[in-house]
Each structure stands twice: as structure tokens, then as C-alpha cells.
Amino acid sequence: MPFDNVAKNDMLAAISPLAVLVSLHTADPGTGALNETTAAREIPTWATPAGGDLALAAALEFTGGASNGPVTWFAVWKTGGTTRIGKGQITSGDVTFNAAGEYTLTTASRLRLTDA
């Protein structure tokens, strides 16, 4: 039985305080941190979960990436950055660092609870 969005939103609300770091990746990070860029991980602020999604409340600014290098995935980590709790594919907007090695992860980037 799939969960209703009300239940998914409650689960995401419980998880969001644990989701304290976001990393960027050049390809699917798999079950860990594969393909992580050289950009420093950033601290997110989360919006109230809605529709089974957890979205950023504000865009995240990353620096230190490869000039014009790819960014196609992000991952979310618990305190300490050693336990990943989710990942998402970047499917719209910029998918590369700029020439200065900067990247903005927008509020359109979301973690979605899916029924497997």
C-alpha cells in the first residue's frame, strides 16, 4: 500500500532537521558519495514538506567546483556528513558550474518520498 502525501509530509518533517548538509555530484552518487564535486558542502534551510516533497526554502550557493564542470545530482547528509539520507537529480536549470566554479542549487530541487 502506498503512503498518502499526508504521511509522506509528516515523515519528511521528521527527517528535515537531520538533513544538515547538501553536496553536489557530477553523476548519480549511487548509495554514497560517488561523483561528488570539489565544491564544499552547504547547510540548507528546508521549506515545509508538501505533496510528498521536501524543497529548499532558499537557494544554496556553492563555490569551489570545477570551472564549467557538470552538476547533475545533489545529496543530503546527516550531521558529520558521513551518513547520506537522500539524493535527487537536477532536471532543470543550470547543470554546470560557472567559469568561477560557482553553482546555485535552486528551490526547485526537491527530495521526494517515493513508493518503491
pLDDT digits (tens, 9 = 90+) for 63-107: 999 999 999 999 999 988 899 999 999 988 889 999 999 999 999
Total domains present in the chain: 1
Nearest-CA neighbor of 50 among 101, 5, 103, 85? 5
pTM (2 d.p.): 0.93
Q: Domain range spanning residue 14?
A: 5-112
- The answer, yes or no, to whether residue 18 has pLDDT greater than 70, is yes
- Is the Cα dihedral 56, 113, 69, 39 positive or negative? positive
| Predicted local confidence at residue 116, as pLDDT | 65
Alpha-helical segments (H) within 1-116: 5-15
| Predicted local confidence at residue 115, as pLDDT | 77
pLDDT-derived band of residue 61, with 50, 70 and 90 as boundaries?
Answer: very high
